[in-house]
Copies of this chain bind each other. A is one copy, B any other.
Amino acid sequence: MTAQKITITSAEVIDLRVPTSDAMLGSDPFHKMPDYSSAVLHLETDGGLRGVSVVFTVGAGTDWICHGINDLCQLIIGTTLEDFATAPVHLYRRLIDHHQLRWLHDGVFRMAAGAVINAMWDLWAKSLDKPLWKLLVDLEPEFVADCIDWRNISDALTRDEAIAMLQDRRANVGKRELEMSELGPKAYCTAGWLGLTNDQILATIRKLQDQGFDSFKLKVGQDSQRDVERIQFMRDAIGPDCNLMVDANQYWGVEEAKRHVEAYRSFGLKWVEEPIARDDVLGYIELASTFADADFGFACGEHAASPVIFKQLLKSGAIKYCQIDAVRVAGVNDVMAIILMAAKYGVPVCPHGGGIALCNMIQHYGMWDQIAVAGHSDTQLVEYIDFLQEAVESPVATKAGCYVTPSAPGWGLEFLSAFVGKHRFPDGEIWNTRAGSRKGAAFEA
């Protein structure tokens, strides 16, 4: 796929924060008062197109990521889209293996690198007037394989295996694309937020059911007895045939998780999400073994900081659902590697959504996975939260419990400029009128 010779001329990085903690939206046991936020990157070019990406955060710390993105952008201003699109792994390595910056590891560094990489993919897709998923679907198997850094993962999946797998799906890609031309991946929603009463949860479920959803999640990680009561309440409310999942947001240690989860055996749960720390691979293996005969499997990944962590979770069979995040690892290149590994090990890709604009991004990965990698839609659920969509030009939509297939070019991630102006931190009007204690890191629950 040829790319035009478009040069990156400048970068703007915006610290965008929404005071969602005012209404206690999206809280969990650790993130008690999140202010849904985003480090937004605009790569401006001489071709009139803009490459856009976002890194979702929960408030304080967005500036850390903005600082990093600004630094990395020194490395791409003056480069061309053609350079990038010829071999995207070159930019990936220039950033992730930068001989000095690589000392900074995962977390802020990998997320900032992902922002730059994702903005370049956005620009490429826009230059072809394709949504991102369509660009990915149209890539040749060898090209996809060449986007990936195989150094640390080829004990789980080799380049040749990846190519063979993609080739194998190739015959059906046209058919799958047609099948998904209107309705995209099946979606699920969190109905049981920690802050909600039973009545509020019930109202949320009914509203979602009216919209066609049949898969629901509940937050746990409080008092065990109360958690179990809430699971029972949710199961009663949705009936035996709907999917029910629970999410502990890493709240427990391994032994503690065993005790809590033991009480969850009788509710026909689909998965138990993030029972323990994001990087505790052996802990996940131990839990999987302890609950090998349970109905549910374990799910995680939204906080897994690198493809190496995913490799271990997938290869060992520790997780039964692979929850990629769109902005935690180093962009499209890393996520491609993870989706391919999940396919080899037969683990459904169930991306993490929510926050600001995560759903707008993950729908593309769901499409690529279900058309070209897994090649089916039989087992995956893609998270969906109807939240802050009024902030973007191309809101995510659902129909009959599925994502409506995205059609805007690139990620479709352009924020409305009025929204950006208002929520820019700390000078937008939402923030500059607040007292100091409601700002930044100093604001503590």
Give residues in A with beta carbon < 8 Å to B: 30-35, 57-61, 63-65, 67-68, 71-72, 74-75, 94, 97-110, 150-155, 252-255, 276-283, 286, 303, 305-306, 308-309, 311-312, 315-316, 440-445
Majority DSSP secondary structure for residues of A touching B: loop
Report B-chain residues with C-beta under 8 Å of the C-beta of A309: 279
Q: Say yes or no: B152 contacts A100, CB within 8 Å.
A: no
What are the 10 tightest A-B residue pairs by CB atom distance, in nearest-first order? Answer: A107-B107, A105-B107, A59-B100, A108-B108, A155-B254, A60-B100, A152-B277, A282-B312, A99-B445, A32-B99
Q: Say yes or no: A98 contacts B253, CB within 8 Å.
A: no
Report B-chain residues with C-beta under 8 Å of the C-beta of A283: 155, 312
Report B-chain residues with C-beta under 8 Å of the C-beta of A102: 30-31
Q: Say yes or no: A99 contacts B444, CB within 8 Å.
A: yes
A445 to B309, CA, bound (A): 28
Q: Specify which of B109, B110, B278 is in contact with A61 (CB 8 Å cutoff).
A: B109
Q: Say yes or no: A35 contacts B153, CB within 8 Å.
A: no
Copies of this chain, count: 2
Interface centre among A64, A286, A303 (most CB of B within 10 A): A64
A263 to B320, CA, bound (A): 38
Shortest CB distance A439–B (Å): 10
Q: Say yes or no: B279 contacts A279, CB within 8 Å.
A: yes
Q: Say yes or no: A105 contacts B305, CB within 8 Å.
A: yes
Q: Say yes or no: A253 contacts B442, CB within 8 Å.
A: no
Query: Given the known A-B contacts A98-B441, A254-B155, A440-B71, are A31 and B315 also in contact in the complex, defined by CB atoms under 8 Å?
Result: no
Report B-chain residues with C-beta under 8 Å of the C-beta of A253: 150-155
Q: List 25 A-B contacts (CB under 8 A).
A: A31-B103, A33-B100, A57-B103, A58-B99, A61-B109, A71-B440, A71-B441, A72-B441, A74-B440, A75-B444, A99-B445, A104-B108, A105-B108, A106-B305, A107-B109, A150-B253, A152-B254, A155-B254, A155-B286, A279-B279, A279-B306, A280-B311, A282-B312, A282-B316, A283-B312
